[in-house]
Amino acid sequence: MTGYTKDHEWIAAGAGEATVGISHYAQDQLGDVVFVELPQVGKKLKKGDVAAVVESVKAASEVYSPITGEVIAVNDTLTGDPALVNRSPEADGWFMRLRVSDPKELDGLMDEAAYKSFVDTI
Amino acid sequence: MTETTDATLRETSLAALHRELGARMVPFAGYAMPVQYRDGIMAEHRHTRAAAGLFDVSHMGQAQLRGPDYATVAAALETVTPGDFQNLAPGRMRYSLLMTPEGTIVDDIMVARPAGKAGETGLDIVFNAARVAVDEAFVGTHLPTSVRLELPPHRAMLALQGPKAIDVMLRHAAVGEMRFMDTLATTFDGIPVAVTRSGYTGEDGFEIYLAAADAEAIARTLLAEPEVRPIGLGARDSLRLEAGLPLYGHDIDETTTPVEADLAFAISPRRRAAADFPGAARILDELQNGTRRKRVGLRIDGKLPAREGAAILDDGGAAVGKVTSGGFGPTVDAPVAMGYVDAAHAALGVSVAIDVRGRTLATTVSPMPFVAHRYRRRSAG
């Protein structure tokens, strides 16, 4: 299942691992992405830690880890093609894969319908 | 990342048109202004360099300095600037600086001497939006009683910038004889306007000064031309950064002097010789002996942009300056920045580093503009 945070990250979890990226709404708000600073593989992130930084033409924006876990992979394609975040934010433009420390943290996330309603209130 | 609907913000006469065009509105200098339209900053930036972009710059301050005769008005403006306005020809405009008695910069301004009757008794000035109130008070205190500074209400200002701007304008206004920094009172499809061949993108282009009530009709006419797209403040900023043009409040302010800011061209030879401009003693000393710091262009290796406030370091890691404007240059296709560095590191080609969140980005002090200006000048130089 895919969950969303109020900071516009998405997280797709399964089998003790989770993939994290930013939502379609987030990439639209950021505009043209020119650089993505990804975490080191092996880095241990706590829920809410700054996991990545997205640089658009306009500004730098932080991406927070939605859960606690260890980084087990990052999407190196974004280094050469940062605009992939704009083209495919919720699929090919993923940021990182985490080993999930506490599956209960996933319970607090919004599902797609709840996130859509949340975005409509902004 | 939230939309702003602050009721205290002012709107320009094009606010409804911006929304119709899908603009994302942001607060800027007390106005709700479009930061981008549906195309996005990158596409808007590139379109301006390739064809023609239309900017709403109605937030800028349009002022009129009027007096009994031209010489009196020019002399009055010269008391607060280092420019030579006594010798400004009718139909021409100049970039200038309002300066404190200490030789620092109150604002950077455009000053036009209208051709015809208005140019016999006055000058037209454009102030930065965020400085209008400060400038009005500052200039006001230095005027003789016979000279008045007025900011007529209900005005609008459009900028049409890019290599195709001339083709578009010629379909509506007789601007074919104009060259860079010319000003002309004319008509646009029969509507009275003032036009200058100027702008803040480094491209050829025009700025149109008109009644607020006429702005939407003229903007729609221009947008209906196949070469023209609407362009927001986001691309305006990346365009002026690539053009090496300073932005008041970021690259210049009341703590910087024109010599530090690499704007000494605004100090006219006549005023230098007479040493009669604000802060002349300090400025002439700086021209002779140099300054402790200098505004420079910065080219950054890789793709990670450095933003305003980032520290500039020498190869030993010691701070030697600070970035004042920075971002990704869509035409350069690389990050570019400007900032102040110590004189010892200000020479072209010097290697420095910029700290961005603990990363040190290899950076070279580089000539500006980063993208060559394409003004259509009246004469060489």
Tens-digit pLDDT profile for residues B221-277: 999 999 999 999 999 999 999 999 999 999 999 999 999 999 999 999 999 999 999
pLDDT at A99 over 80: yes
**A50 and chain B in contact, CB less than 8 A:** no
Please spell the DSSP secondary structure of B300-363, one letter per residue: ESSS----TTPEEE-TTS-EEEEEEEEEEETTTTEEEEEEEEEGGG-STT-EEEEEETTEEEEE
pLDDT at B3: 44
Both tokens of residue B373?
């200006």
pLDDT at B23 over 60: yes
For residue range B190-200, list pLDDT tens digits in order. Answer: 999 999 999 99
Average pLDDT over residues B363-379: 95
Q: How far is B297 from chain A (nearest CA, A)?
A: 18
Question: Which chain B residues have a beta carbon less than 8 Å from that of A85?
Answer: none
Nearest CA in chain A to B24: A29
Average pLDDT over residues A72-90: 97
Which of A32, A35, A59 is facing B304, going by the closest CB pair?
A35
Block residue for tokens 């008509």: B187
Q: Are the Cβ atoms of B41 and A30 closer than 8 angstroms?
A: no
Helix pair angle (B41-50, B233-242), 10° resolution: 60
Classified by CATH at the fold level, domain A2-102+109-120 comes out as OB fold (Dihydrolipoamide Acetyltransferase, E2P) (2.40.50)
HSE toward the beta carbon, residue B104, CA cutoff 13 A: 10
Cβ atoms of A37 and B357 closer than 8 Å: yes
pLDDT at B117: 85
* Segment (H or E) for A63: strand A60-64
Question: Which chain B residues have a beta carbon less than 8 Å from that of A30?
Answer: 1
Query: pLDDT category, A89, cuts 50, 70, 90?
Result: very high
The residues in A 56-75 lying below 8 A from B, measured between CB atoms, are 56-61
Helix, strand, coil abundance in chain B, percent, nearest 5: 25, 35, 45
Average pLDDT over residues A39-48: 96
Cβ atoms of A46 and A67 closer than 8 Å: no
CA B162 from centroid of its chain's CA atoms: 15
Both tokens of residue A33?
């992405």
Query: pLDDT category, B123, cuts 50, 70, 90?
Result: very high
Smallest Cα–Cα separation from B100: which of B125, B80, B86? B80
Both tokens of residue A53?
């930084």
Both tokens of residue B84?
């030579």
Residues of B near A (CB-CB distance < 8 A)?
A: 1-3, 35-36, 40-43, 45, 234, 238, 303-305, 307, 327-328, 330, 335, 357, 359
* Segment (H or E) for B125: strand B122-127
SS3 assignment, position B258: coil
Taking the C-alpha atoms of residue B140 and residue B194, their distance in angstroms, rounded to an integer, is 24
Nearest CA in chain B to A79: B303
pLDDT at B207 over 60: yes
Question: Which chain A residues have a beta carbon less than 8 Å from that of B40?
Answer: 31-32
B330 upstream amide cis, omega within 30 of 0: no
Taking the C-alpha atoms of residue B159 and residue B149, their distance in angstroms, rounded to an integer, is 24
**A82 and chain B in contact, CB less than 8 A:** yes
Both tokens of residue B166?
């001339």
Smallest Cα–Cα separation from B243: which of B180, B336, B347, B312? B336
pLDDT at B380 over 60: no
pLDDT at B381: 41
pLDDT at B5: 53
Which of B2, B330, B359 is facing A57, going by the closest CB pair?
B330
Question: Which chain A residues have a beta carbon less than 8 Å from that of B359?
Answer: 37
For residue range B301-325, list pLDDT tens digits in order. Answer: 999 999 999 999 998 999 999 999 9
**A26 and chain B in contact, CB less than 8 A:** yes
Torsion of Cα atoms, B201 then B206 then B210 then B212, to 10°? -40
Question: Which chain B residues have a beta carbon less than 8 Å from that of A31?
Answer: 36, 40-42, 234
Query: pLDDT category, B2, cuts 50, 70, 90?
Result: very low
Taking the C-alpha atoms of residue B355 and residue B71, their distance in angstroms, rounded to an integer, is 51
Question: Which chain B residues have a beta carbon less than 8 Å from that of A80?
Answer: none
Taking the C-alpha atoms of residue B242 and residue B230, their distance in angstroms, rounded to an integer, is 19
Provide the mean pLDDT of chain B: 96
Predicted complex ipTM = 0.86
pLDDT at B4 over 80: no
C-alpha dist (Å) from residue B346 to B46, B171, B351, B361: 30, 46, 10, 17
HSE toward the beta carbon, residue B367, CA cutoff 13 A: 3
For residue range B61-96, list pLDDT tens digits in order. Answer: 999 999 999 999 999 999 999 999 999 999 999 999
Domains plus CATH for chain B?
15-56+154-242 (3.30.1360.120), 292-381 (2.40.30.110)
Both tokens of residue B110?
């455009």
Q: Which residues of B34-49 are buried (b: 16+ CB within 10 A; e: fewer)?
A: bbbbebbbbbbbbbbb
Please spell the DSSP secondary structure of B191-244, one letter per residue: EEEEEES--SSSSSEEEEEEEHHHHHHHHHHHHTSTTEEE--HHHHHHHHHHTT
Both tokens of residue A110?
């919004």
Residue in B4, B303, B307, B331 to test binding to A, most A beta-carbons within 10 Å: B303
